[in-house]
Structure 1
């Protein structure tokens, strides 16, 4: 599904800074992988490279057998719309549009038929429990509901990979549980492949594998082999082993 081969990223704006150093990572189809590490460790940089928002200085990012860095701007835009689904901390929804209009936006940009959009919209809205919200404006719904809408938008075009960047960062405890339970269901029942950046051990406990980054390098991987509660404890232990991780708790 996803191969990251010897990827490094160096920023040369002002003082040179190496954000990532020789990263190697594979994500299999149907995996739910979390990325954790101290602030400034390179988590967001890695997600931006995978999401084709940025390009590596060296090495390769290969998704579904394609190397996005070699695509032209038109091909890249189409690749991003068709192959990737994005879920952000601040939802990134269009406040002037209705819930329905936000969800079908990727299909609208691709010029999909109205009949096809309507069918896909009804299926995804029913699956995520937001059918009654479709005609409402974004400004009138809660944060937890908004994140469900964002997940619906990310899923409606059936992407190969969902990229979630701190998806519970702006949510209260109950909404966080609801959203993570939803992502877990999508992974387990729909076999969706999900890659999530988070600093929250609770959110991370829903993943099946956690990759830890420190100073731009992959330093540890752990896997869920038992209960989610036991995995949560394993995550806390792993974070404490990484210098500076105490500030993340």
Structure 2
């Protein structure tokens, strides 16, 4: 599915900052992978490169054998619309549009037929529990509902890879759990491949695998083998190790 080889990103000309240091990463089809690490570790840089928002200094990214960073701008835009789905911390929904109009935006940009868009929106809205919100505008619904709409928009065109950037960052605990259960459901039932950056151990515990990044390098990974509760405890312990938390008192 996703193959990253020797990915490097350096910022600056006179004063250089190496944000990523030859990252190697493989994500299999149907995996739900979390990326965690301290602030400034390179998590967002990695996600931006995968999302084609930024360009690598060196190394390659291939999604199903396609390297978007060898494409021209028009091809990249098409690749983004066809191959990728995005879920952001701030939802990134259009407030002047209805829930349904936000959901079908990727299909609208591809010139899909209205009947197809309406059918797809109805189907996914029912699955995600937002069918009764279709005619409402974004300011009229809660943050948790907005994130469900964002997930629906990310999934409506059946992308090969969903990139989630702190999807629970602006949500309360209940809404966070609802959104994470929703992502896990889409992963398990639809075999959706999801790569999620998060700082939240609870959100991370819904993943199958967690990759830890520090100072621009992948330093460790763990897998969920004994259930969510034990995985959560394992994530907490690993974060303390990666972030070098010590008993100072």
TM-score w.r.t. length of structure 1 = 0.97
SS in 2 for 1:210: strand
1:95 and 1:26 map into 2 onto residues whose CA distance is 36
Q: Does 1:30 align with 2:30?
A: yes
CA RMSD after TM alignment: 1.0
Shift of 1:218: 0.2
Partner of residue 7, structure 1: 7
Tell me the CA shift for residue 243 of structure 1: 3.0
DSSP 3-state at the match of 2:158: coil
Q: Secondary structure of the equivalent of 2:206? A: coil
Partner of 1:87: 87
2: CA distance, partners of 1:69 / 1:188: 30
Provide runs of 4+ in structure 1 moved above 4 Å. Answer: none
CA distance in 1, matches of 2:123, 2:77: 26
Instruction: Give matches, 1:150-165, under 5 Å.
Output: 150-165=150-165
Q: Which moved more, 1:9-18 or 1:179-188?
A: 9-18
Cα displacement (A) at 1:14? 5.9
The alpha carbon displacement at 1:12 in A equals 1.2
| Whole-angstrom CA distance in 2 between matches of 1:111 and 1:15 | 45
Unaligned runs of 5+ in 1: none
The gaps in structure 2 that reach 5 residues or longer are none
Name the structure 1 match of 2:75. 75
- Which residue does 1:102 correspond to in 2? 102
- Aligned residue for 1:211? 211
- Distance in 1 separating the partners of 2:150 and 2:193: 16
Where do 1:131-210 residues align within 5 Å? 131-210=131-210
Figure out how many residues of one structure are paired with residues of the other and give that number.
246
* CA distance in 1 between partners of 2:63 and 2:86 (Å): 15
Equivalent residues of 2:33, 2:209 under 8 A apart: yes
Q: Give the drift of 1:54.
A: 0.8
Distance 1:183 1:161 in 2: 12
